[in-house]
Homo-oligomer: A and B are copies of this chain.
Amino acid sequence: MNFESNLPIYIQIMNLIKTKIVSGELKRGDKLPSVRELSKELKVNPNTIQRAYQELEREEFVYTQRGMGTFVTENTDTIQNVKKSMATGLIDQFFSEMKNLGFKNDEIKEMVSHWLAKEE
């Protein structure tokens, strides 16, 4: 776990797992490590792991069964929907903030292209 980030640890853990789910490393129905297990592995308090799992459940990325464990949601649609809605949220926010700074669509487009070109 990267404690250097100023993000709360439970958010970092959520991102860790979201990425694994969305990228397919964790498939639907897969069992996540138990709270205590992950707690030991990441050297983080069990409550913090639990907090992360709870929030992930709230966002419908996972579901839990008492006494059984926590599992990746069976509903792949949910994953796709959440993924999509998070994406449009990010895009909307991005554009609105860019426009707030006084950029026009053309300029934004150009900057995005530039960023992508640099990436390759």
Contact = CB atoms under 8 A, between A and B. Distances in A.
Interface string A49-74: 00000000010000101100000001
Nearest to A106: B116
Q: Is the interface of A mostly helix, strand, loop or mixed?
A: helix
Given A58-B58, A111-B91, A119-B105, A100 B18 contact: yes
A20 to B, nearest CB: 9
Contacts of A116: 105, 108-109
Interface of A: 3-4, 8-9, 15, 18-19, 22-24, 58, 63, 65-66, 74, 83, 86-88, 90-92, 94-95, 97-98, 100-103, 105, 108-109, 111-112, 115-116, 119
